[in-house]
Amino acid sequence: MDQQHVLQRRAIYTVLQEWLNEDQIIEALLVFEEHHKGKPSIAIHEYLTRIGHLFEQKMDTKHIRRRLMEVLVRRSHDLAPDPMPLLERARAKTASAVFDLKPTESQLALHCLISELMRKASVGQRKQLHEQLAKQLGKRFVNGSYDLLAQYLLSDNPQYLARFDDRALQDFFTVIYVACCEVLGPVKTDQWFGTAVHSIRQHNAEAGEQLNRFL
């Protein structure tokens, strides 16, 4: 069984290199390890669909599955080496990196915006928002990313944002926007959002400009 699992991991690592970059492959493999370990090769379609949603890509899952099946029946020396060491390094980095990195100016500006929005919500609304965010974040972020963002929302500490690139934080803000729409309604959300952005731009024009990349 272990041998089969290693073979699947190597096959995924081999095939996904054609579609994803290195960071995305690591994330995709972490999803595989966490949620699809031990499942038969025939169930690989479910995994590929999940990966497609994760990276918001219209992946040709049929084609990838066919490629995976081809690769799985090859002799093992045709496959890329086992990416397990890469995964372990990525896990270790996630655990230690939180306090090593410092948030950038733009990340701090985003933090101001999110804090401002959250502060406007009453206790009851914030509870509902967190429930909604838990659902929405779960669909978009997995593994360590989900945990870090959840910790960020609970602690209101910008340190947790430092590990993410602009694209991920843009997604994160959209998730917050959607949750606000669900809980507060679209009209109030746009009003709060507009007021918060306006206020940040009034107090610090540069931070206001920095925000643009996430909106």
Partner 1 sequence: MKRFTVLALAALPVDTWAAVGDEPVNTVWLVVAAALVFFMQTGFALLESGMSRSKNAVNVVMKNYMDVCLGSMVFWAFGFGIMFGLNQTGFFGASHWLPQFSDEWSYTFLLFQIMFAATATTIASGAMAERTRYSGYLVGAIIITGFIYPVFGSWVWGGFFGGKGWLSELGFVDFAGSTVVHSVGAWCALAGIMVVGPRLGRFDPETGVARLIPGHNLNNVALGGFILWLGWFGFNAGSTLQADSSLGKIALNTHLAACAGAVGTFLAQTLTRKPVLLTHTINGSLGGLVAITAGCATMSPTYAVITGLVGGVLVIIGSYLLELLQLDDAVGAIPVHGFAGVWGTLAAGFFMEGDLFNLQQLWVQAIGCAVAFLWAFPTAFIAYWLLERLIGLRASNLDQQRGLDYSEHAERGYPEFDRLPLHKPLAG
20 DSSP 8-state letter: S
Q: Which stretch binds partner 1 (CB under 8 A): 8-16, 34-42, 145-153, 186-194?
A: 186-194
- 52-58 contacts at long range (C-beta below 8 A, 24 or more positions apart): 53/139, 54/27, 54/28, 54/140, 54/142, 55/20, 55/24, 55/28, 57/19
d(CA 181, CA 176): 9
- Say if CB 153 and CB 204 are below 8 A apart: no
157 binds partner 1 (CB under 8 A): no
Binding residue (CB under 8 A) for partner 1 from 37, 70, 185, 206 = 185
CB atoms within 10 A of CB 189: 19
- Considering only residues 100 to 119 of the shown chain, the ones binding partner 1 according to CB under 8 A are 106
Among 18-26, 69-77, 90-98, 171-179, which window interacts with partner 1 (CB under 8 A)?
Answer: 171-179
Which residue matches tokens 């590929």?
48
Question: With binding defined as CB under 8 A, does residue 133 bind partner 1?
Answer: no
Separation CA 144–CA 56 (nearest Å) = 19
Which of 11-19, 24-32, 146-154, 191-199 is the region at the interface with partner 1 (rule: CB under 8 A)? 191-199
Nearer to partner 1, 7 or 180 (CB): 180
Question: Binding to partner 1 by residue 49, rule CB under 8 A?
Answer: no
Q: Residue 59, interface with partner 1 (CB under 8 A)? A: no
> Which residues of the shown chain bind partner 1 in the complex (CB under 8 A)?
56, 106, 132, 166-167, 170-171, 174-175, 177-178, 180-187, 189-190, 193-195, 197-198, 201, 208-209, 211-213, 215
